[in-house]
């Protein structure tokens, strides 16, 4: 609680347990399913010819930044169990004075991208089983405390029909309240008419769409670097890491949703952009409105509303530390802003999220505080009062 308001953390992560895909994929994939193996230094996920290093950066909650390392020297053995154990997770939430966590993946994205980018081409049946296994496990995780653990399902990258089928299936799984695709639903590099049934489905199922960092992006954890622990430790730079928080991948995606008319054609769709902050949004809205007014005729961008109005009507964004955004909240709408901790990733201030919230919202009126620390997320996922 903060000022008597429930704190709903809009962006936290699970660390997929080492045996997730071994336990949840069909038996015919027992040999191929991702598993964690010991390396000379640390551990890695392996499947087929792929390898994804276990990094401590996805689980450094409570540790001093002076101790962080790109590679987890002891692998899973040195990480907080709150990443994968729901009871340990809730104990950490209580320590942090946070009431509800919305849950996104850590390694599933990297492994899904590796499958999609395989030189041999994506194995459709394997990929679908991989995605379904994660969503089934996440549902079981959330079922331990469905009022406190809110799951966001991932979506396969094998075409629009598979994406629609898995979203329909995931909607029936307990605890899953939203979806997070890794790419445009059809698999194309830009939205196409083939995506339209997917957006309509989200409206019909009342499921919010979450875009985490971007489409086809792994953020600071580049898949090629993740293959080699030594290379990763040498080459992950501040410039790479900084891409996550500066919305460099999100701005063009938001432009497609609004200027491309997706939100106009689907007015009941709710769009949440995750882990890219909010301070850039007033600038984006101002510039986009200006560009729209100047160029709408020759580009035939015939929208009945201003771009900024679509933002205020259908969009939300999350932030961890964004004093500039908080100070300029009226320019984007406090009803579009959601605080997050990023637990247990390196953006987290656990166990002192209360202090982080207070440092940014100390002078903010109660009405806006209630929206930012929980009310908006409740509305996004239909969590009720």
Predicted pLDDT at 235:
52
- Judge whether 284 and 239 are in contact, CB under 8 Å: no
Task: Spell out the alpha helix ranges (H) of the chain.
Answer: 20-24, 86-96, 108-116, 124-143, 160-171, 196-205, 223-226, 229-235, 238-245, 250-259, 262-265, 281-295, 307-314, 323-327, 329-332, 353-361, 366-370, 376-381
> Residue holding tokens 């379904």?
132
Give the pair of three-digit tokens for residue 69: 């390392």
Predicted pLDDT at 114:
86
Predicted pLDDT at 221:
46
Predicted pLDDT at 220:
41
The per-residue pLDDT for range 277-291, each reduced to its tens digit, is 999 999 999 999 999
Other C-beta atoms within 10 Å of 235: how many? 13
**Which one, of 4, 14, 6, lies nearest residue 59 by Cα?**
14
> Residue holding tokens 């390396």?
39
Q: What is the DSSP letter of 270?
A: -
Predicted pLDDT at 120:
74
Predicted pLDDT at 158:
94
What is the arithmetic mean of pLDDT over 36-52? 91
Predicted pLDDT at 218:
45
Q: How far apart are CA 140 and CA 352, in angstroms?
A: 28
- Computed over every residue of the chain, the mean pLDDT equals 92
202 Rama class: left (phi>0) / alpha (psi -120 to 50) / beta = alpha
Interior angle at CA 164, CA 308 and CA 345, nearest 5: 65
The per-residue pLDDT for range 332-342, each reduced to its tens digit, is 999 999 999 99
> Residue holding tokens 């089928």?
165
The per-residue pLDDT for range 101-148, each reduced to its tens digit, is 999 999 998 899 888 887 778 899 999 999 999 999 999 999 999 999
Q: Is the dihedral of CA 158, 162, 167, 172 positive or negative?
A: negative
Q: Is the pLDDT of residue 236 over 60?
A: no
Q: How far apart are CA 379 and CA 385, in angstroms?
A: 9
Q: What domains does the chain contain, in order, with CATH numbers?
A: 8-381 (3.20.20.140)
Cβ burial of 74 (10 Å; 0-12, 13-18, 19+) is: middle
Give the pair of three-digit tokens for residue 32: 């191929």
What is the arithmetic mean of pLDDT over 368-382? 98
Give 246's pLDDT tier (boundaries 50, 70, 90): confident
Q: How far apart are CA 221 and CA 45, in angstroms?
A: 14
What is the arithmetic mean of pLDDT over 76-90? 95
Q: Is the pLDDT of residue 324 over 90?
A: yes
Predicted pLDDT at 247:
85
């Amino acid at each position: 609680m903060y000022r008597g308001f429930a704190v709903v953390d809009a962006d936290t992560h699970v660390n997929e347990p080492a045996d997730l895909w071994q336990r949840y994929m069909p038996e015919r994939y027992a040999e191929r399913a991702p598993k964690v193996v010991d390396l000379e230094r640390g551990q890695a996920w392996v499947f087929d010819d792929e390898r994804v290093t276990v990094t401590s950066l996805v689980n450094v909650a409570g540790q001093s930044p002076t101790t962080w390392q790109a590679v987890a020297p002891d692998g899973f053995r040195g990480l907080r169990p709150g990443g994968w154990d729901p009871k340990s997770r809730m104990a950490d939430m209580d320590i942090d004075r946070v009431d509800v966590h919305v849950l996104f993946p850590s390694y599933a994205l990297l492994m899904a991208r590796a499958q999609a980018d395989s030189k041999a081409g994506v194995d459709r049946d394997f990929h679908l089983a991989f995605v379904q296994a994660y969503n089934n496990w996440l549902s079981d995780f959330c079922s331990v405390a469905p009022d406190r653990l809110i799951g966001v399902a991932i979506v396969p990258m094998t075409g629009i029909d598979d994406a629609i089928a898995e979203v329909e299936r995931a909607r029936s799984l307990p605890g899953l309240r939203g979806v997070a695709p890794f790419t445009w639903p059809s698999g194309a590099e830009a939205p196409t008419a083939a995506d339209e049934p997917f957006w309509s489905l989200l409206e019909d199922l009342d499921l919010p769409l979450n875009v985490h960092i971007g489409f086809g992006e792994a953020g600071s954890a580049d898949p090629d670097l993740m293959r080699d622990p030594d290379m990763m430790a040498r080459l992950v730079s501040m410039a790479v890491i900084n891409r996550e928080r500066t919305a460099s991948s999100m701005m063009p995606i938001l432009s497609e949703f609004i200027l491309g008319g997706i939100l106009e054609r689907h007015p009941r769709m709710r769009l949440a952009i995750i882990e890219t902050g909010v301070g850039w949004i007033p600038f984006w809205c101002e510039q986009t409105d200006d560009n729209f007014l100047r160029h709408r005729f020759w580009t035939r961008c015939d929208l009945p509303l201003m771009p900024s109005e679509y933002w205020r009507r259908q969009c939300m964004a999350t932030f961890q530390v964004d004093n500039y955004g908080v100070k300029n909240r009226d320019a984007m709408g406090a009803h579009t802003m959601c605080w997050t901790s990023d637990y247990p990733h390196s953006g987290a201030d656990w166990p002192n999220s209360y202090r982080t919230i207070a440092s940014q919202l100390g002078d903010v009126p109660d009405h806006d505080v209630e929206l930012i620390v929980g009310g908006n997320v409740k509305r996004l996922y239909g969590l009720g009062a």
